[in-house]
Amino acid sequence: QVPDDHVIVLFGATGDLARRKLLPGLFHLANAGLLPRKYRIIGSAPTKSALRDEEFRQRAKDAVAEFGMAKPVGEAWRAFESALSFGTADPEQPGPLIAAVKAAEKAIGGSPRRLFHLAVPPAAFGSVVGMLGATRLAEGGSVIIEKPFGSDLASARDLNGTVHAVFDESRIFRIDHFLGKESVDNILALRFANGLLEPIWNRDHISHVQIDVPEAIGIEGRAGFFEGTGTFRDMIVTHLFQVLGFVAMEPPTTLAAKPLRDERSKVFEAMKPIDVAHVVRGQYDGYRSEPGVDPHSQTETFVALRTEVDNWRWAGVPFFLRSGKSLAQRRQVVSLHFKETPLRMFPVDTRASVDHRANTLVIDFDDPGWIATRFLAKEPGPTMRLAEAEMTFRYADSFQKAHGLEGYERLILDAMLGNQALFTRSDGIERLWEISEPLLKAPPEVELHARGSWGPESINDLIAPHHWYLPDGH
C-alpha cells in the first residue's frame, strides 16, 4: 500500500539521526516504491544552522552514500533529490518553514498530508510542537516524536499535555525504532502464528528471560545528548521495555493498533516498580574524559536490572535486562531459559563444554536477525553422552528476500499510512516512567568498568543463581 501524497518536514535535519538513519531510510523507501506518488521532504533546523536547498541536498547525498542501503545514483536519486528543500524554523521566526511548506504543497497540488518528524533533542519537543500549533502548520497533520518521551513521569505527562493541545492522539506517532525491526515484529509471528511455542511461553516452563543489548560503540561524540540522558533513559525505559512488551504480552484479538497497544500497555501495568536493590548502574572507564563530558559525571553508560511482570502468565519469572556502551560486543538478543526437566536420568557430563542449562530459545533481533533453540542431544556413540545442539532459523535460508525495511523505514511508512500499531501510546509511556520512579529518585552509585568488558562484576550477583547468557557461549 502506497501512502497518500505527503509533505514531510524533518526537524533536526542537520543532526546525527537524520544523517545516519532518516535521510538514507527515506531514500530507501523511495527506491522500494513505498513513498507516496507525490511527496516533498523539507529539512528544517534553527536559523543558526540554516542551509541552502543545494547544501541540504548535498548533505543528504553524502548521508545516503555513507549509510544507505541504496546508493545515491541515477534517475532514482535525481527524482528524490528534486523533492528536497530546506526551511529554517525558530519558534519566534517560523516564516521560512511556513513558506517552504506552502511551496511544497503548491508543487504537489491537491491536498497533500503533512507529517512532521521531530528528530530533535527531547528538550526541544515542546517548543517545536507549540510552534506547529501557533502557526497552524499542525492542522490536519501528523507528528512523529523521537524517544525518550519525557525524562520522568511528570515531564512525560507535561509533554503529553503539550502535544495533545496541538495534535489528536490519533495523529501522534511516538517512535521507538526497535518496534519497527523486522525480527522484533517476528516475535509476534513466532508466538501467535504457531501452536508450537505459545503453550510453554509462561511461568510453568520458563525460569527466566534475558533481554540483552550490549553495544561496542561509545557515545560517538553525542556527549551533549548522552550526559543529560544516560543509558536508562536512552535504552532501557524505551527500547528494552518495549521489546519486553512484545515478549510478555497476551495474544491480541487482532493485529490492529488498539488491541496490540492495549496488550502491551497491560504488560507495563503489570510490571512491578523497579527495585533499586536489583539495579546495577555502570560507567565505562574513560567516559569522563570524553569531549563534552563532566569529569565527575555520574551519568550511567551501562544498566543491568531485574524486573518482573506480575501477572498470571509471568509471576515469579525474573526478566534480566542489560545495555551499555563500550562493551565487549554488539548484540541484540532475547533469550528465554526453560526450566530443567524434573528428573535427571542422564549421566552428568563434567566436560566444561557441556552446559546442562542449554535449554534455551534465543531470538537475535539485530538486523537481519535469527532464532535458535539450544538443547541437549545424544552424542553419537555407544554411551549416553549428551552434547549441546542447535536448531537455527536464518532469514536468508527461508526467504529469498532476507532484508526488509529497517526499523525507521518501516515506522515512517506506517506513520504515513496512519497505522499506530507499532508506536507507543501515552498511557504505556507514562506507566513505564511511573515504575521507573524509585530508580530515578534514588539511583545507585555508578560503578566503573573496563571498556570492552560486559559491565561491572556485580551484575553476576544480580542474576545469580542464573548466569548472563550470550549466544557465543559467554
The amino acid sitting at 259 is P
Q: How far apart are the first and last CA of the chain?
A: 44
Closest approach, Cβ 192 to ligand BG6, in A, equals 24
Q: Catalytic annotation on 474?
A: no
Q: Which residue has the cell 568498568?
A: 449
| Closest by CA position to 30, among listed 400, 409, 407, 403 | 409
Per CB under 6 A, contacts with ligand BG6 among 380-439 are none
Residue 185 found at the interface with ligand BG6 (CB under 6 A): no
Using DSSP, state whether 405 is helix, strand or coil. Answer: coil
Q: Is 12 annotated as a binding residue?
A: yes
215 marked ligand binding residue: yes
**56 or 226, CB closer to ligand BG6?**
226
**191 annotated ligand binder:** no
Exposure string of 165-182, with b = 16+ CB inside 10 Å and e = fewer, is ebbeeebbbbbbbbbbbb
Q: Minimal CA–CA distance to 180: which of 38, 28, 61, 44?
A: 28
Catalytic residue among 239, 337, 356, 466: 239
DSSP string, 341-383: PS---SPPP--TT--TT--EEEEE-STT-EEEEEEEEEPSSSS
Closer to ligand BG6 by Cβ: residue 34 or 175 = 175
CA distances from 145 to 176, 325, 384 (A): 9, 24, 57
Q: Is residue 212 involved in binding ligand BG6 (CB under 6 A)?
A: no
Is-contact 385 347, C-beta < 8 A? yes
364 lies in the binding site for ligand BG6 (CB under 6 A): no
Q: How far apart are CA 92 and CA 131, in angstroms?
A: 8
Residues 424, 248 contacting (CB under 8 angstroms):
no
CB of 215 to ligand BG6, least distance (A): 5
- Residue 13 known to bind ligand: yes
Write each residue from 229 to 248 as x if it is in contact with ligand BG6 (CB under 6 A), else as -, in one continuous string: -----x--------------
* 157 annotated binding-site participant: no
Looking at this protein, which amino acid is placed at residue 218?
A: G
Confirm whether residue 410 is marked as ligand binding.
no
Give how many residues touch ligand BG6 by CB under 6 A. Answer: 2
**How near is the Cβ of 84 to ligand BG6 at its closest, in Å?**
23
Q: Which is closer to ligand BG6, CB of 81 or CB of 215?
A: 215
Nearest to ligand BG6 of 234, 409 (CB atom) = 234
Shortest reach from residue 255's CB to ligand BG6, in Å = 23
Helical (H) or strand (E) element with 320: strand 318-324
CB closer to ligand BG6, 5 vs 234:
234
Quote the CA–CA distance of 426 and 160 in Å, as a whole number: 7
- Asked whether position 215 contacts ligand BG6 by CB under 6 A, the answer is yes
Please give, one letter per residue, the 3-state secondary structure of 182-227: HHHHHHHHHHHCCCCCHHHCCCCCEEEEEEEEECCCCCCCCHHHHH
In whole angstroms, what is the distance from residue 153 CA to residue 396 CA? 42
Which 3 state secondary structure label does DSSP give 242?
helix
Looking up cell 504543497 gives 105
User: Residue 177, annotated ligand binder?
Assistant: yes
- In the structure grid, which three cell numbers stand for residue 291, read together? 569531549
Closest CB 408 distance from ligand BG6, rounded Å: 8
Using CA atoms, how far apart are residues 429 and 86, in angstroms rounded to an integer? Answer: 32
Cβ 162 to ligand BG6 shortest distance, Å:
22
Residue nearest ligand BG6 (C-beta atom): 234
Cβ nearer to ligand BG6, comparing 338 with 408: 408
Q: Is 61 annotated as a binding residue?
A: no
What are residue 163's phi and psi, to 5 degrees? -70, -40
Of residues 7 and 22, the one with the C-beta less far from ligand BG6: 22
**Has 325 been labeled as part of a binding site?**
yes
Residues at the binding site for substrate are 177, 181, 215, 234, 325
List active site positions.
239
Binding residues for ligand BG6 (CB under 6 A): 215, 234
